[in-house]
Structure 1
Amino acid sequence: MHLRLFLPELPFLFVFIMTVHDFIQQITSELGFAPTSDQQQAMEVFGHFLADRRQDVVMIMRGSAGTGKTSVAGAMVRTLRRLGQKLTLMAPTGRAAKVFSLKSGLPAATIHRRIYREKAYQGLDGQFVINNNLYHSMLFVVDESSMISTLTADNGFGSGSLLDDLIRYVYSGQNCRLLLLGDSAQLPPVGEEEAPALSADVLAGYGLSVYQTDLNEVVRQKSESGILWNATSLRALITHEEATHLPVIRFSGFADVVRMPGNELIESLASSYSEVGVDDTIVITRSNKRANIYNEGIRRTVLDREERLSSGDLVMVVRNNYYWTEREARQLKEGEQLPLTFLANGDVARVQRVRNIRDLYGFTFADVWLVFPDYDGYEMQVTVILDSLSTEAPALTREQSEQLYQRVMEDYADLTTKSARVKALRDDPLFNAVQIKFAYAVTCHKAQGGQWSHVYLDQGYMTDDMLTPDYIHWLYTAFTRATAKLFLVNWPKEQCDVWED
C-alpha cells in the first residue's frame, strides 16, 4: 500500500513526499537486522499512524522483555530524526529518562519537566500548571508508560492525573501526536488494576483514535539468559487465571540466575560492589520495613559506615520537594536552567558532604551536598531530615509531619497574622527539609523504570494462598530490572527447579 506521509495542513513528517512502504524500509535499515513478524507489524502500524489525516491520533506499542521493543523504538526515532522530524522523548522518572536516552541515542527528559511549569511556590505543596504546548508537528514519545497513572497522586501538578495532563498538553499543540511505549506485564501504578496509558479503551475515552501493536515474540536468546527465560514464563502466568501454585524458577542451565542463601549474601554483595559498582547493584524487597533492614545491614557490614549519614552514601528522595530547586533557581543567571524541576519522589543522589548535624523540634537535620547521577551529575546543597531514613513508612508518617509542623509554627507565634506565619513556614528550610532513604535496597515500585547489572531479590515469606496477579506482576517487574545477573535471596525450595543443600 502506498499511503503517503503528510500533514493535514502542512506536512506532518517531512517537507518531501515519502510512502509508508519507503518509510518502513528506512526503519528496517536503521534496525540493522531482519525484523520478526511482530516487529514488522509494529513498523507498519507506526507508518499508518503517522500518515493518518486526523489530528487526535495516538499510538501504543506494548512489548515485554526480550521482544525487541527498545530496538524497534530506537530505530523508529532515529529514522525520524535523520529525516528531519521534530521529536521529544520523555519518561515518568529521571532514571527511566536516562535509560531511554542511552538506549535511543537521543536526549530524554521527565514528563514533569516537559509538561509543567511552576505557578506559585507554596512550600511542601508547590503548584505546577500545565505548560503551553507551543510546538507544531511534534511527535512526543514516552517510554515506561506503564508507570503513568490516572489517579490523583499530587495535587501540586495540574489536575493531579498525570495521564490526563500529558494528553491535554500534547494535543493542545498544533498537529502534535503521542507514541506510548511500555510493558503491560509490569506493575501498574499504585492503586490501579492495569496500566491506563497502555489501554486502548482508556485512551479512546479521551476522544483519541488509537493505533496499537504488541510485540510478543521473544528475539533475545532465552536459551542463554535465565533472566529472560524466567521473565517470559512469568509473563505467561499473568494471563493464566487458573494458576494455583507459586511459580517455579528455573536455575539449571543458567549462570545468570543464582539462588543466594542468606549466609552468603554479605560476601556476594561485596563482590557485586567490587565488580559492577554500588550504583549498578540493587536489592529489591516487598516492603519498606524490609528495605530498611537491608540498608542498615549493608551500610554497617558491607560498607563499614557507622555514622547516621556519610559522604558517599546513596540515597533516594521519598517525597516531592519544591523548596530547594526554587531556591537554587533564584541563584541562576539569565538563560540558565536547572536540569530538574523539583526533587521528585524516587530521585537517586549520592552524598558528597555532610555538615551541621543538629537536633531541633524533636528531629535531626543535616546540611548535605547531593549529586544526582540521573541529571548529568548535577550538584545541589540541601537540608535533609534524617528521621525519614528509619521510618517504616514510605516517608515521614502523618504524625511526624504534624509534629514538625506544630513545632516549627511555635517559632513564628509572635507574628501577628496567619498569612505572615504561613509565609514564614513556607520559607523555613527545616520545615522544607528533604525526606530521604538509603537507596541500596528499595521496593519494586521504587526500582521500576531503572535497570541494574546485578539485582538481589528478596520476596520474603510466600505461600500458595498468597498467589495473586499482583504478585506475578511484581515478580516479573523485579526480574526484568536485572541486565546481567539476578540473585534470588533465601529462595524457597518449593520455587526452585533444582535444590542443592
Structure 2
Amino acid sequence: MPDMEALEPIRLTRDQEEAAALIEEWFLHLSNQIFVLCGYAGTGKTYLVDHVVRALGLKAGESAVFVTPTGKAASVLLRAGTPAGTLHSLIYTLEEEIEVNEDGEVVSERFLRFVRREKIPQEIKLIVVDETSMVSDEMLRDLLSYGVKCLFCGDPAQLPPVGGSNTLLSMPCCTLTQIVRQEENDPIVRLAAMARAGQHIPIGEYGEHAVVISARDFGERERARLFPKADQIIAGTNRTRARINADTRRYLGIPPESKLPIDGEKLICTLNNWSKALDRDKTFHLVNGIIGKCYNVRQQQDGLLQLDFQADFLCDVCRDLPADAGIFTEGQYFHGYGDKACLLESGVLVHERNAAMLRRFKVRREDTIDRFEFAYAVTCHKAQGSEYDFVIVFDESRFFEDSSRWLYTAITRAKKKLIIVR
C-alpha cells in the first residue's frame, strides 16, 4: 500500500484528508469503477487529486491520465503543469466514410464520424476526468466501457452542459466544502460563495483585486481603459456581447469601417470541425468554444475569408482555414452548417457550389467552412471550463432561470482580478 506520509509533507484540510482516504480505499480495495469528487471554488480539488495520484504511485500522463471534455478545459491543467488531453482524443478516433454503389461509384459525399476505440493503452490504471459537469451521459457510457477506474471531478454549482444531461455530480462520493487556507482571504472565492448561496452581492470593493460596480458608474472612460486589458469579458446576452466586442475594437483603435478581423484579433470558433487538428499531435481540434488569435486574414470570393488561427493555449498555428465572412460584414452567416469551400490550384477560395463552374482550375483542397466571431466578450457558457487572470463580468444573471449558477460560473472564471458590472 502506498505510504501517504512518505511523500513531502502537505497540509491538507480536514475535507481533503477525508477525501484522500476515501479515494485511496476505493482505488486499492473496492470494485466500484467510479468515484465522484465534488468541490466548490477554493476547496483545493485539483491540488488534492494531484496529491493522491502521486501518493498512489501513479505517474501523470502514463498510468494516470487526465482528460477534460474540451480543449480549453484541458488547457487549464496544462498551464498548471499537469499533462492533459481531451476525452474525445482518449476514447474516440475519427473515421472517414464514403458511400459507394455496387460499381464502386461514390454516391454520397464523404463525412467524418467518431468511432469508439476498441481499446486504450494497457498501462492506464486511472482516468481522471476534470470539469465533469460538461460530460454528457452518452460519453460517460463510452468511457466506462473500458473497465478502467475513473475519478470524476467537478463543481456541482456550475452550469450544466448545453444540449445534454449529466447525472454524475448529483451523486458524489464526497464533496469538498472547506476553503483551503491559501484561499480563505481571496475576495473572488468569497464572491463566488455568496453567488452560490444566492446572496445579494452589494456594490463595493472586495479587497484590492475585486470590485462590484453599477453600470452607470462604469462609464466610457473606464471601459476604454479596462476592456482592452481584460483577459476575458463575460456577458449574459448576445446583444450585450456584440456591443462589447464592437466597443473593444474601437478602443483598440480599429476603425468602425474595418468590419473584418485584422491580424492579432481575438476570435472564438462557433462550429465543430473535428477534421481540423489544432496541433501536430492531433490532440486538440477546432471545435465550438475554442478561443485564439487570427493572422494572415485574406478576403476571398463567395463571402469567404481565409485565415490562420492559433488557439490561446497552443504554440502551433492552424493555417489557411476557410471561414464565413458574413457574421463580420452583415451580422449573420452566409453559408449553411457543414458547407464546404474549395481551394483551387490558382489559390482562389470558392464555395463548393461554384467550383464546378471553374473547370479549368483543379481543386487543390476541400474543407468545411469554419465559423468564427470576435471573442473579446463571450457568453458564460462559452467561457465555462476556462480560467483567466483578469475577468470583467456583466451581470445579466437575471435573464437566466438559475441565476445563482450563472453568476457563480462567471465569477469562478477569474483567477486574480475581477470586476462585476451590474
Secondary structure at 1:309 match in 2:
coil
Give the letter for the 2:169 counterpart: L
TM-score where L is the length of structure 2: 0.82
- 1: distance between equivalents of 2:329 and 2:216? 22
Instruction: Quote the offset at 1:269 in angstroms.
Output: 5.2
> Corresponding residue for 1:358?
300
1:311-330 correspondence runs (5 A): 311-325=263-277
Deviations 1:216-264 (A, max 9, x none): 1112466632211121122233xxxxxxxx7334635523222344564
Instruction: Give the distance between the partners of 1:414 and 1:352, measured in 2 at CA.
Output: 30
Query: Are 1:132 and 2:115 an aligned pair?
Result: no
> CA shift at 1:387, angstroms?
1.8
CA distance change for structure 1 residues 25 and 370 in 2, over 3 Å: closer, same or farther?
A: same
Could you tell me how far 1:454 is from its partner in structure 2? 1.2
Whether 1:163 and 2:140 are equivalent positions in the alignment is yes
Contact 1:121/1:322 (<8 A) preserved: no
| In structure 1, C-alpha distance between the alignment counterparts of 2:355 and 2:252, rounded to whole Å | 44
- Equivalent pair of 1:230/1:250 in contact (CA under 8 Å): no
1:190 pairs, out of 152, 162, 165, with 162
- Are residue 290 (structure 1) and residue 276 (structure 2) matched? no
8 Å contact kept, 2:192–2:411: yes
Letter in 2 for 1:134: I
Matched ranges for 1:330-409 at <5 A: 337-340=281-284, 342-355=285-298, 357-360=299-302, 364-389=303-328, 396=333, 401=336
* Alignment check: 8 A CA contact 2:397 2:404 kept: no
Q: Determine helix, strand or coil for the equivalent of 1:370.
A: strand
Correspondent of 2:370 among 430, 434, 458: 434
Contact kept in structure 2, 1:91 and 1:100, CA below 8 Å? no
Per-residue CA deviations over 1:143-168 (Å, capped at 9, x if unaligned) read 11111123xxxxxxxxxx32222223
* Contact 2:156–2:169 under 8 Å retained in 1: yes
Unaligned runs of 5+ in 2: 99-108, 341-349
What's the counterpart of residue 6 of structure 1?
none
Q: Would you say the 8 A contact 2:339–2:369 is kept in 1?
A: no
* Counterpart pick for 2:52 among 65, 68, 76: 76
Give the distance between the partners of 1:428 and 1:379, measured in 2 at CA: 15
What is the distance in 2 between the residues matched to 1:43 and 1:391? 54
The change in CA–CA distance for 1:268 and 1:138 in structure 2 (over 3 A counts) is: farther
Match of 2:347 in 1: none
3-state SS of paired residue (2:204):
coil
Number of matched pairs: 395
Task: Go from structure 1 to structure 2 and tell me whether the alpha carbon gap of 1:428 and 1:263 turns closer, same or farther (over 3 Å shift).
Answer: farther
Q: CA RMSD in A?
A: 3.4
- Structure-1 residue corresponding to 2:96: 120
Distance 1:82 1:52, change over 3 A: closer
Letter matched to residue 320 of structure 1 = N
Task: Report the AA paired with residue 337 of structure 1.
Answer: D
Q: Normalized against structure 1, the TM-score is what?
A: 0.70
5 Å matches for 1:32-181? Answer: 32-52=9-29, 54=31, 56-80=32-56, 86-103=63-80, 105-120=81-96, 126-136=112-122, 137-150=124-137, 161-168=138-145, 170-171=146-147, 176-181=148-153
SS in structure 2 at match of 1:88: strand
Partners of 1:227 and 1:482 within 8 A in 2: yes
Report whether the alignment pairs 1:477 with 2:416. Answer: no
- 1-structure distance, mates of 2:374, 2:291: 9
1:256 partnered with 2:256 = no
CA offset at residue 302 of structure 1? 3.1
Distance 1:184 1:369, change over 3 A: same
- Unaligned 5+ runs, structure 1: 1-17, 151-160, 201-210, 238-245, 330-335, 416-423, 492-501
Partner of 1:234: 195
Please state how far the C-alpha of 1:379 moved relative to its aligned partner.
Answer: 3.6
How has the CA–CA distance of structure 1 residues 98 and 322 changed in structure 2, closer, same or farther, with 3 Å as cutoff? closer
Q: Deviations over 1:347-380 (max 9, x none)?
A: 112112112x1341xxx21111112232334443
Q: Please give the secondary structure, in 1, of the residue aligned with 2:313.
A: helix
Aligned-partner Cα distance in 2 for 1:383–1:408: 10
More strand by share: 2
One-letter amino acid matched to 2:126: L
CA distance in 1, matches of 2:131, 2:119: 22
Amino acid at match of 1:287: T
